[in-house]
Amino acid sequence: MGNHSMGNLRLISIVSLTALLGLTACSGPDAEEQLEPSGPSMSEPHAEFFAALQTLCGKAFAGERIVARNDDRELLQGNEALVVHFRECTDTQIFAPFHIERPADGDWDRSRTWIYTLHAERLEINHDHRTPSGEPDELTFYGGYTVEPGSAERQMFIFTERTGEEGEVLGWRIEIQLGERYTYGTMADGDWTWRLDFDLTSHIEPPPAPWGHE
């Protein structure tokens, strides 16, 4: 769900996973940008996508599988228990902590929360990473915006600060098929570099609060 730079997007450190996908932190948007005065039309694809995520609020879901991965470094090995919890929702934000069980000792890494924000003409994703003490991690609150309409089932968030080693457009690809799956992953030029699927056919007992949000 060691720290690496965004140029090394294809890495996910299981040691701290401060950037589930090893992305370099970027500062969040200015307060003025977050407080857009006019709301979106709920018939627009990005608003429909956000509304679909809102239907999951209060529920937790188990990770079903790691579908795509493009390296063999010390990352998620595929035997960890994964849980996403759509813990808190407002009209414009969804907070979804991502929990990872460490098989070696059975402890849980509760360091990260995915934050979706609805703006008038686009969506935003940010990654809130915390240490076990609850303090912000060294790399935290990085993310990106959608730049195309997308659809009610798929949105792509572009990390505009960086491109890949060969000029690829980097970012996050998020999908939802209600009653089937929620998918979080990274992409390069639209293709998966990492992809994690969560089973929406049934929900599970919500986990404890993520670090720093008790």
Query: pLDDT tens for residues 187-205?
Result: 999 999 889 999 999 999 9
Q: Indicate whether 73 pLDDT > 90.
A: no
DSSP one-letter code for 33: H
Alpha-carbon gap, residue 196 to 204, rounded angstroms: 17
DSSP one-letter code for 104: T
Of 156 and 38, more confident: 156
Q: Indicate whether 166 pLDDT > 90.
A: no
- The full set of domain ranges for the chain reads 6-26+43-199
Q: Indicate whether 20 pLDDT > 80.
A: no
- The encoded tokens of residue 76 equal 């998620």
CA distances from 173 to 37, 61, 80, 179, 188 (A): 27, 19, 22, 19, 9
CA distances from 182 to 101, 107, 195 (A): 19, 24, 10
**pLDDT band at residue 71, thresholds of 50, 70 and 90?**
low
Point out the least confidently predicted range of 39-48, 57-66, 153-162: 39-48
Residue 49 has a pLDDT of 98
Of 111, 126, 122, 71, the residue nearest 209 (C-alpha):
111
Indicate the class that CATH gives domain 6-26+43-199.
mainly beta
Q: Indicate whether 31 pLDDT > 80.
A: no
Alpha-carbon gap, residue 3 to 25, rounded angstroms: 10
Alpha-carbon gap, residue 4 to 18, rounded angstroms: 9
